[in-house]
């Protein structure tokens, strides 16, 4: 039940409409002045209005770290996106794809759940941003039509062969640019003062060599960092974080980029001092990971039927959490008695799982928990959860799963290429008339 659902196909970065899985109220606001809608384009005699363009633009936010195009250019891109979508919706209708009321009701209820609302509360929020329930449901219907026509015309036709997987693995193994390399390093920095004398230099180098010797002998690197390092990441056991190799000093990259996980390097001399490095991770981002961190967790699921019931359930779950942490109750016993999930008979045990197997709102909280720790009540699209992490382990990713990782990468690439070609062809067959004088 908690497993991540397959994604709805998006239709072009920030220009796509608000899909069923991700409607965000903060993205839209009711205009202060109501403009008169004008027809800006006809698509096979079906109009697109300035209001359609304006409403779509109001929902667009720039991706993190990027800026939106100038307003005139953004308006042009939005209009072209709407034309593409309109041709696809028309084609979906022509070939008989339909969205029944039950499906639409489920989609609307899903949006409400993801925003922590009931459907009536969702309608109130819609009114606050100037959207009627009818227009919102029309948008949902179009989103589902776009998804289904893309699945039928594009995604179902795409296949990835074993030979293509072999070729990809061979090519990616042979070529590796810095921006494709993920490095996670830890360091012990033995700092040097400005213009050190010979005695100080020798003493600091000797200490760095001793740290390196002890690390190679198997001592805990994090403990060595906390004891000896002068680096800013000392409290974190010397860990400098996972980042692409081009974001590390070239001195570090040249010394570590060809080394496997667990390698100790150094001492290396820089202007700051002597560095002893530990390779925590070193992999090509275009290749699947060889190891993953698996988590074994359990949970209690309650499904509220109203806001008042949810408040009562949150209070009850907090009481359970206090009793578990004080030793007055056992998590597995409470799960068997109260959980509404299929895992209740197993004491809420979800088994060993890998990253990406649960819905994000659940997994993000689970990942922050230490073994034995119990979360505060967590809301997901399925209800309210109390989560406990039982244990974690690092496991080798089987070759079958690594190949499946590559298959998914190649499939996504082929789908995007096939979709763009299909959308261009559909657009070329459509009769589009721009009403330049009305824009």
- Model confidence at 171, pLDDT cuts 50, 70, 90, reads confident
345 by Cβ neighbours in 10 Å (0-12 / 13-18 / 19+) ranks as exposed
Asked whether the domain spanning 291-396 has the same topology as the one spanning 177-284, the reply is yes
178 has a pLDDT exceeding 80: no
User: Residue 346 pairs with which residues in a beta bridge?
Assistant: none
Determine the average pLDDT of the residues in 110-128: 85
> What is the number of alpha carbons within 13 Å of residue 204 lying toward its C-beta?
22
Compute φ and ψ for 293, nearest 5 degrees: -90, 120
- Cα separation, 224 vs 204, whole angstroms: 15
- Model confidence at 3, pLDDT cuts 50, 70, 90, reads low
309 has a pLDDT exceeding 60: yes
| CATH 1.10.4030.10 applies to domain 13-153+418-438 | yes
- pLDDT value, residue 140: 93
Q: What DSSP line would sit under 178-211, residue for residue? A: GGGEEEEEEEEEEE--SS--HHHHHHHHHHHHHH
The per-residue pLDDT for range 268-279, each reduced to its tens digit, is: 999 899 999 999
Record the tokens describing residue 86, joined without a space.
């309109």
Q: Among 13-17, 49-53, 112-116, 329-333, which is the least confidently predicted range?
A: 13-17
Determine the average pLDDT of the residues in 148-171: 93
Record the tokens describing residue 262, joined without a space.
């667990």
Q: Where are the domains of the chain?
A: 13-153+418-438, 177-284, 291-396
The per-residue pLDDT for range 232-277, each reduced to its tens digit, is: 888 888 998 888 888 888 899 889 888 888 899 989 999 899 999 9
Cα angle, residue 41 at apex, residues 37 and 46 outer, rounded to 5°: 90
Determine the average pLDDT of the residues in 73-77: 92
- Closest to 409 measured CA to CA, from 156, 64, 169: 169
- pLDDT value, residue 428: 94
- Cα separation, 174 vs 25, whole angstroms: 46
- Cα separation, 275 vs 306, whole angstroms: 58
The per-residue pLDDT for range 403-426, each reduced to its tens digit, is: 999 999 999 999 999 999 999 999
The per-residue pLDDT for range 191-213, each reduced to its tens digit, is: 999 888 999 999 999 999 999 99
Cβ contacts of 428 within 8 Å, gap of 6 or more: none
13 has a pLDDT exceeding 70: no
Q: Which helix (H) or strand (E) holds 365?
A: helix 360-368
Say which CATH topology domain 177-284 has. Answer: Chitinase A; domain 3 (3.10.50)
Determine the average pLDDT of the residues in 323-330: 95
**Which strands form 432-434's sheet, in the order they lie side by side?**
46-49, 39-43, 432-434
Percentage of the chain with pLDDT > 70? Answer: 90
Whole-number CA gyration radius for the chain:
28
Q: What DSSP line would sit under 34-86, residue for residue? A: -PPP-EEEEETTEEEEHHHHHHHHHT--PPTT--PPPHHHHHHHHHHHHHHHH
Cβ atoms of residues 282 and 260 within 8 Å = yes
Q: How far is CA 330 from CA 351, 377, 388, 390, in A?
A: 18, 16, 11, 13
The per-residue pLDDT for range 17-55, each reduced to its tens digit, is: 333 334 554 444 444 445 678 999 999 999 999 988 988
Does the model's pTM come out above 0.85? no
330 has a pLDDT exceeding 60: yes
306 has a pLDDT exceeding 70: yes
- Cα separation, 360 vs 358, whole angstroms: 6
Percentage of the chain with pLDDT > 90? Answer: 56
> What is the number of alpha carbons within 13 Å of residue 6 lying toward its C-beta?
6
Q: Strand 273-284 vs strand 264-269: parallel, antiparallel, or unpaired?
A: antiparallel
Class of domain 291-396: alpha beta
12 has a pLDDT exceeding 70: no
2 has a pLDDT exceeding 70: no
- pLDDT value, residue 131: 84
- pLDDT value, residue 360: 87
């Amino acid at each position: 039940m908690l497993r991540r659902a397959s994604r709805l196909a998006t239709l072009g970065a920030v220009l796509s409409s608000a899909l069923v899985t991700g409607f965000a109220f903060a993205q839209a606001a009711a205009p202060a002045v109501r403009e008169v809608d004008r027809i800006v384009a006809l698509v096979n005699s079906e109009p697109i209005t300035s209001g359609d363009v304006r409403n779509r633009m109001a929902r667009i936010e720039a991706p993190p770290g990027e800026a939106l195009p100038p307003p005139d250019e953004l308006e042009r891109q939005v209009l072209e996106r709407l034309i593409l979508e309109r041709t696809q919706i028309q084609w979906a209708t022509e070939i008989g794809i339909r969205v029944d009321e039950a499906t639409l009701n489920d989609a609307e209820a899903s949006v409400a759940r993801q925003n922590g609302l009931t459907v009536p509360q969702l309608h109130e929020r819609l009114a606050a941003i100037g959207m009627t329930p009818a227009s919102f449901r029309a948008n949902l219907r179009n989103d589902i039509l776009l998804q289904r026509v893309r699945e039928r015309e594009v995604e179902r036709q795409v296949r990835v062969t074993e030979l293509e997987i072999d070729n990809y693995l061979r090519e990616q193994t042979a070529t590796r640019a810095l921006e494709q390399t993920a490095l996670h390093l830890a360091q012990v920095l033995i700092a040097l003062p400005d213009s050190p004398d010979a005695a100080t230099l020798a003493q600091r180098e000797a200490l760095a060599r001793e740290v390196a010797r002890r690390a190679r002998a198997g001592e805990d690197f994090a403990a060595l960092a906390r004891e000896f390092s002068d680096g800013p990441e000392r409290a974190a056991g010397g860990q400098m974080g996972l980042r692409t190799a081009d974001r590390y000093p070239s001195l570090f990259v040249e010394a570590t980029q060809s080394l496997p996980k667990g390698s100790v390097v150094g001492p290396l001399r820089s202007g700051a001092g002597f560095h002893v490095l530990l390779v925590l991770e070193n992999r090509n981002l275009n290749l699947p990971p060889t190891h993953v961190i698996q988590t074994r967790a359990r949970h209690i699921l309650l499904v509220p039927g109203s806001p008042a019931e949810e408040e009562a359930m949150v209070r009850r779950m907090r009481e359970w959490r206090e009793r578990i942490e004080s030793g007055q109750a056992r998590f597995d016993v409470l799960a068997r008695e109260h959980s509404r999930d299929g895992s209740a008979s197993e004491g809420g045990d979800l088994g060993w799982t890998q990253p990406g197997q649960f819905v994000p709102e659940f997994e993000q909280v689970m990942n922050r928990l230490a073994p034995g720790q119990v979360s505060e009540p967590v809301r997901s699209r399925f209800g309210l959860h109390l989560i406990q992490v039982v244990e974690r382990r690092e496991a080798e990713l089987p070759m079958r799963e690594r190949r499946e990782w590559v298959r998914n990468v190649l499939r996504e690439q082929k789908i995007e290429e096939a979709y763009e070609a299909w959308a261009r062809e559909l657009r070329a067959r459509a009769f589009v008339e721009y009403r330049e004088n009305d824009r």
